[in-house]
Structure 1
Amino acid sequence: MSDVVSGFVPRMLLDPDIGLFRADERVFTAMLDVWQAQMLARGLPSRTIKQRYQLLERFQRFTGEFPWQWRPADIDEFLADLRSGEKPISLRILRSYNNAVAMFCSFLTHPGHGWGKFCERTFGDILSRICFEWNMPRHTTDDAVPARKRSFTKAELQRLFDYLDDLVDQEYAAGSKRAPPVTRLGGVQSLLRLRASPA
């Protein structure tokens, strides 16, 4: 069986005749570059790719460690630090940061990419995922979106429709000429426009 690691590990890192000066930094940069190429191939926007790349660099600087040394406590401490500073990040940003780290770790640990075997052979350590259901922020309907931008709840929509039904009933009860068009059009704007116009 060959010692060559298959997958997406760049050939220059696999050549036994090439020494790896500052191996940890060079390998981490290569990992990011290959992940960036994969995201480009998937058609992700360049802005998203750049933000994820920079976030992973930032996370690495925060931990002082490299992916084959990362542990779940690292992502917990990183995100807790961002949430507890002078300008805490929002839950939406917290979630996107956590997802980016999770996607990077998932990419690296996929056996088809070859990084796991490479890191075990080169650094004597095994890549692992550090983001799990128990340490990732959960997505709920009301937590991450400011009230001015959130969707209506079912109860709010029901109140709105009940109100509109009552308006149509009032127009019919008053014998107004506006009742049939409002019923036919069924639109909120049409109803409000007709209510504002003289009968």
Structure 2
Amino acid sequence: MGRSAAGGSVAVPGVATLHVLPGVAMLRPEEAVFEKTLLGFADHQRARRLSWDTVNTRARIARQVQAMSGGYPWEPAWDRRLFDRWSAMLADTVATSTMRKYQNDLALYLSYLSDPAYEWPQVCLSTFGMFTGFALRDLNAVRHAQEYIGQPSGNRPLTRAEVKTFFGQMDPEIKRLREQGHKGALAAARDLAMFTTMYGWGLRRRETARLETHDWRRQAKLPEFGDYAGLAVRWGKAGAGQPPKRRMVISVWPWAVRTVQLYMENVRPLFYSDRPDDGVMFPTERDEMISERAVNQRFQHWRELGELPAQLGPHCMRHTYVTRLIEAGYDGQFVTDQVGHSHAATTAIYTALSNDFKNLKVREGLDAAEEAALARAFAMADAEADMDDDFSDQTTQPRSSGARRTR
């Protein structure tokens, strides 16, 4: 598989013979071969255009399990008991969704290592005289039995009271910092626009952090929104081995457009008072684009200031956006397109309608049913009255003038 008929090697990314040369002695061969398996696994993933972040995370997981086992993947130490011990350790430190991802990362590495097409079983047998053939299908892993396995109390829409608390505290705090001459006033004003954009256009953290000013668009049918009638999202969530998905998000809320406009005109220029404008939508005072980690930290700052539940995170803004659109009566397919989901079922996971909205819909349904019943009753009464009139016309005949009276 790894060589051509003429003896030259075939360019198969990740094949063992591209990393381990036959007959070449290695210092500490177990450690060297293990590292070479990770190099081959990296080539295998990069050939599918996976990011270096993904590649490095999976290598870190493999090294973590190797350190725990004290052995190597081709040795008997890598068995189901090791996998269970490692999974039990994860269960105490990470969320269920993260635990499942790490388990899947390890399974992908072991699947690559066990595939005869990449020749690692042959290399291990010839070098160490063993290859255990880890039984991947017997792993005691978290089952992915439903679409959503995140934290129910964390990734949820904010209530209307929570939204009011989160955003309502910002203007007074910005004013206080400005009056005190605190340099944090500028960052706080940027945060107001940043989280308004995240909430008002249903964005993820990465999508928000990497926005640039030229991403805003005019829309011919929405002249009242001016330059901010649409937002071109260029860094949407990518599929495996795919580039970031792009989408156009149409502006919906006038108050959000107004907040962004004020930020662009009065706040953002202050970040560039002494340097050229680089087009970054949400810059930092260190002359750089805000990071996803910083978005988390800034959200935490305002969440704690407002004494909101500790489980809430920036992604809750996206959940809130979806819920508010549904409550406002927007079509489900429109909402799905706005947030960039491939399936309406995924959008449904984001939706948690408020009790007030559900009570209103029930009240409307009951009122409509009662009105329909009354309409049917009135229609029946009118029909009966018409029948009585018709019957009276047929049975009551007027006397002619020449009719004789009888006694």
Query: What TM-score does the superposition give when structure 2 sets the normalisation length?
Result: 0.36
Paired residue for 1:94, among 99, 105, 125?
99
Q: How does 1:66-85 map to 2 (within 5 A)?
A: 66-69=72-75, 70-84=78-92
Q: Deviations over 1:113-161 (max 9, x none)?
A: 00011111111111412433551111233873111426757xx88x988
Q: 1:119, 1:126 within 8 Å by CA — same for their partners in 2?
A: yes
The CA deviation at 1:42 is 0.6
Q: How does 1:1-80 map to 2 (within 5 A)?
A: 8-11=15-18, 13-16=20-23, 18-69=24-75, 70-80=78-88
Q: What is the aligned-residue identity percentage? A: 22
Q: Deviations over 1:170-198 (max 9, x none)?
A: 37978xxxxxxxxxxxxxxxxxxxxxxxx
Q: 1:108, 1:127 within 8 Å by CA — same for their partners in 2?
A: no
- Cα distance change of structure 1 residues 168 and 101 upon mapping to structure 2, 3 Å threshold: same
Q: Deviations over 1:90-124 (max 9, x none)?
A: 11111111111111111011111000111111111
In structure 1, the partner of 2:165 is: none
Aligned length: 165
State the alpha-carbon separation in 1 of the partners of residues 118 and 152 from structure 2: 42
1:106 aligns to 2:111 (yes or no): yes
The CA deviation at 1:163 is 6.0
Gapped regions of structure 1 (runs ≥ 5): 175-199
State the alpha-carbon separation in 2 of the partners of residues 145 and 82 from structure 1: 15
Q: How does 1:116-155 map to 2 (within 5 A)?
A: 116-133=121-138, 135-141=140-146, 144-148=149-153, 149=155
State the alpha-carbon separation in 1 of the partners of residues 117 and 52 from structure 2: 25
42-51 or 26-35: bigger deviation: 42-51
State the alpha-carbon separation in 1 of the partners of residues 22 and 149 from structure 2: 47
Matched residue SS, 1:119: helix
Matched residue SS, 1:99: helix
- What residue identity is the alignment partner of 1:15? P
- What residue identity is the alignment partner of 2:25? G
Gapped regions of structure 2 (runs ≥ 5): 1-6, 157-345, 372-407
- What residue identity is the alignment partner of 2:90? L
Q: 1:13, 1:27 within 8 Å by CA — same for their partners in 2?
A: yes
The CA deviation at 1:46 is 1.9
RMSD: 3.5
Q: 2:17, 2:119 within 8 Å by CA — same for their partners in 1?
A: no
State the alpha-carbon separation in 2 of the partners of residues 120 and 163 from structure 1: 69
